[in-house]
Amino acid sequence: MIFRRSFLSLAIISGVRHSAAFRPASTSSILRNSMTSLASSTKEALINCPSIPMYDSTNHPSIGFGTYKVGFIPASASSAVAAPSSGTVERTAEECVSDALSVGYRFLECAEFYGNESEVGKAIAKSGIARKDLFLCSKVWTTTIEKGDEAIRAQLEKSLKDLGTEYLDLYLIHWPVPGKHVEAYKTLEALQKEGKIKNIGVSNYAVEDYKELMENGVKEKPSVNQIEINPFLYRKNTIEFFKKEGVLLQSYRSLRDGKAFENETLVKVAEKYGKSPAQVLGRWCVQKGFVYMPKSVKKERMIENAQVFDFQLSDDDMHDLDSLTAPDAFDTFEALYRKCVNRDTSKDGSMDGVEKDITSD
């Protein structure tokens, strides 16, 4: 309902008005014309989206398209963050990513674990978009991290081949596998020097994991830490720590998988601005200075999710959204962290080596 109001108001802004002199043949033609205009303006905004400098002054796009569960659902996808799935998919990753590129997304967030990089590569090849105009990020999975240097190197080569590129703009350690992630990061440092990776970083690192990394001989600070960030999991102390360190934060589950779209506060703010709940969540993320990475298998949602650069939330509304994190959200996060750092490794299901005290908020 909110999206319809937002859409019709945009149709009016676009100049589609009823008058005695001009009456469109049908409401559907109004919506069709408005959709075309809206898609065009969204594409321009995406291609020319603001960038955020990483600590080495390299620019990172402020918005990108996430490819997790796009065209493929990994066997060990966490049930803690997703409803049980039949394993079926609506569309292939190639189809979805082709749509994402066509509507203007130029940053693609990929991973070994996602199991769809070859399909992503097909979409890139068919798009005809120059490599220099894309920002490609991938992540190395826990099983490969556990195996060490040679396996990480082999996986990078596979990702490069699958994506059809000679280098990655960003390569991340997917989870801080206990006893293994520091050496894995050092391999990334070496690969960066070899020119196969422009920037390196981490994902799902708690403050304590980062400190362990920096205290054990690494030479290059992570450019990025990719963690879950949204108003329903707003870990202020963790976020402030990484900001002070100069580590850019990528936000996954920015839209909380659509599970909070009916939240009373979120709906109220959305109605105030004539926007959808997804657009408000995306704007909150952008306004906070996080990299926003929405995902969808539906083209119309890809467009909707990207419409976050044409309005600004007030300080009061930002404060109200900041306050949506319930105390038990930190407990849920901590349980998921403990479950995932050893996931799919030889220590899967155990707490062997897992940090017992982490900064959860």
Task: Please list the active-site residues.
Answer: 114
**DSSP state, residue 296:** -
What's the CA gap between 136 and 146, in Å, rounded? Answer: 24
What is the token pair recorded at 38?
Answer: 């809206």
Straight-line distance from the first to the last Cα atom of the chain, in angstroms, rounded to the nearest whole number: 34
Decide: 354 and 338 in contact? Cβ < 8 Å: yes
List all residues 6 or more positions away from 322 whose beta carbon is below 8 Å from its beta carbon: 231, 234
63, 41, 5, 44: which is closest to 292 by C-alpha?
Answer: 63
Query: CA 79: distance to chain centroid?
Result: 19
Is residue 209 helix, strand or coil?
helix
What's the CA gap between 74 and 116, in Å, rounded? Answer: 9
Q: Which residues of 184-197 are buried (b: 16+ CB within 10 A; e: fewer)?
A: bbbbbeebbeeebb
Q: Where are the beta strands (DSSP E) in the chain?
A: 51-53, 59-61, 65-66, 107-109, 135-140, 168-173, 197-203, 224-228, 248-252, 291-292
Decide: 117 and 138 in contact? Cβ < 8 Å: yes
List all residues 6 or more positions away from 41 whose beta carbon is below 8 Å from its beta carbon: none
Neighbouring-strand partners of residue 168: 197
What is the token pair recorded at 290?
Answer: 């996080």
